[in-house]
Amino acid sequence: MGNKPSRLRGFIKKLMNKSNNSPIASTSEESTTNNDDVSNRIKYNVPTTHDGSTHSRSPHGILKYLWQSNFSAPVEDILLSSGAILDAGCGFGAWLEDMSAEYHKPDFVGVGLFPQHFPTQISKNIKFVQADILCLPFEDNLFDFVRLSYFATTFAHHEWDVAIKELIRVTIPGGWIEFVEPDLVPKDTGPIGTRLLEALDNLNITDILELKLNATKQLTDIQHDSRSLTIGKLGGEAGISHGKNIREYFEENSQRFYMHMGISSEEYSKLLDDFFEELQTREAKLRFFRFWARKI
């Protein structure tokens, strides 16, 4: 924001002046819309490639498509001024690339555990930092807008509390925090999908995130919004694309799942095939949520 104390501006400038490719730290009732409604007011299309490029490796394109926007918190003024923006757990940096192309004045910072995921060709106003969200290498009260997306299948229960605390800590009083998360299991998943998805032993964070945010007593104006997407071909291009994301996730983490389920890798591969066949025949709807709040 325009009234950001100069020490914060100085810190961010220092960060931005370091080489952009070298990590600076190595510590370790809602308005529900479904994907059919989106096609009537389309601004952003579903990303079409699945060749490993940034947008296909990230759920960001689907989320942007469902909401037809990149964020829900009222941060337009911050973005049009010289705010400092943090994408915590930025993955392949797709959200940051989109945002920096649209908003030129803020300083954007992406944090991730795996620097190999950071894109190599980036705008001047993005800085990537290799660091752990659970122990951010930033001083208190630094960023005007902090967001985190798609950690539903990553964080364990206790990690959510630490992450929320860290994100609040680095946000300036009056600044905004936004979370974007899916439910773990689509509604109306069939029996095969249910068996597979039950192996996800994460918390369904969308059920309790608002409670957790409230419980911090450091946030106000807590709000949420959701969108639904039918996974698979009955959900059109977006449903097919996100079905591929889900499949990639279960393939990349196959060992963890087949061991947890007590089945062989061959049985697991067959289960995955059967799940995706089942998905083509039923309207399994996955809900995505955005939660946003202002730091007191």
User: Residues interacting with ligand SAM, by CB under 6 A?
Assistant: 58-60, 89-92, 94-95, 111-114, 117, 132-134, 149-151, 154
Q: Which amino acid is at 203?
A: L
Strand segments, DSSP code E, in the chain are 32-34, 84-88, 107-112, 126-130, 143-149, 171-182, 219-230, 285-295
- By the 8 A CB rule, do 14 and 79 touch? no
**Residue 13 and residue 52: Cα distance in Å, rounded?**
32
Report, in Å, the least distance between residue 282 CB and ligand SAM.
27
Identify which of residues 83 and 182 has a Cβ nearer to ligand SAM in the complex. Answer: 182
Identify which of residues 47 and 192 has a Cβ nearer to ligand SAM in the complex. Answer: 47
Report, in Å, the least distance between residue 112 CB and ligand SAM.
3
- Going from the C-alpha of 85 to that of each of 71, 99, 251, the distances in angstroms are 12, 10, 33
Upper half-sphere CA count for residue 179 (Cβ side, 13 Å): 25
Report, in Å, the least distance between residue 163 CB and ligand SAM.
8
- By the 8 A CB rule, do 188 and 137 touch? no
* Relative orientation angle of helices 265-279 and 254-261, to the nearest 10 degrees: 100
**Residue 152 and residue 157: Cα distance in Å, rounded?**
10
Report, in Å, the least distance between residue 29 CB and ligand SAM.
27
Identify which of residues 110 and 271 has a Cβ nearer to ligand SAM in the complex. Answer: 110
Identify which of residues 60 and 227 has a Cβ nearer to ligand SAM in the complex. Answer: 60
Query: Would you state the torsion angle of the CA atoms of residues 142, 133, 71, 240, taken in this order, to the nearest 10 degrees?
Result: 160
Give the DSSP letter of residue 187: B
Identify which of residues 107 and 132 has a Cβ nearer to ligand SAM in the complex. Answer: 132
- By the 8 A CB rule, do 60 and 98 touch? yes
Residue with the closest Cβ to ligand SAM? Answer: 91
- By the 8 A CB rule, do 210 and 222 touch? yes
Identify which of residues 91 and 175 has a Cβ nearer to ligand SAM in the complex. Answer: 91
Report, in Å, the least distance between residue 184 CB and ligand SAM.
14
Report, in Å, the least distance between residue 130 CB and ligand SAM.
8
Report, in Å, the least distance between residue 132 CB and ligand SAM.
4
Report, in Å, the least distance between residue 141 CB and ligand SAM.
20
Identify which of residues 71 and 278 has a Cβ nearer to ligand SAM in the complex. Answer: 71
Upper half-sphere CA count for residue 251 (Cβ side, 13 Å): 9
**Residue 75 and residue 217: Cα distance in Å, rounded?**
21
Identify which of residues 88 and 199 has a Cβ nearer to ligand SAM in the complex. Answer: 88
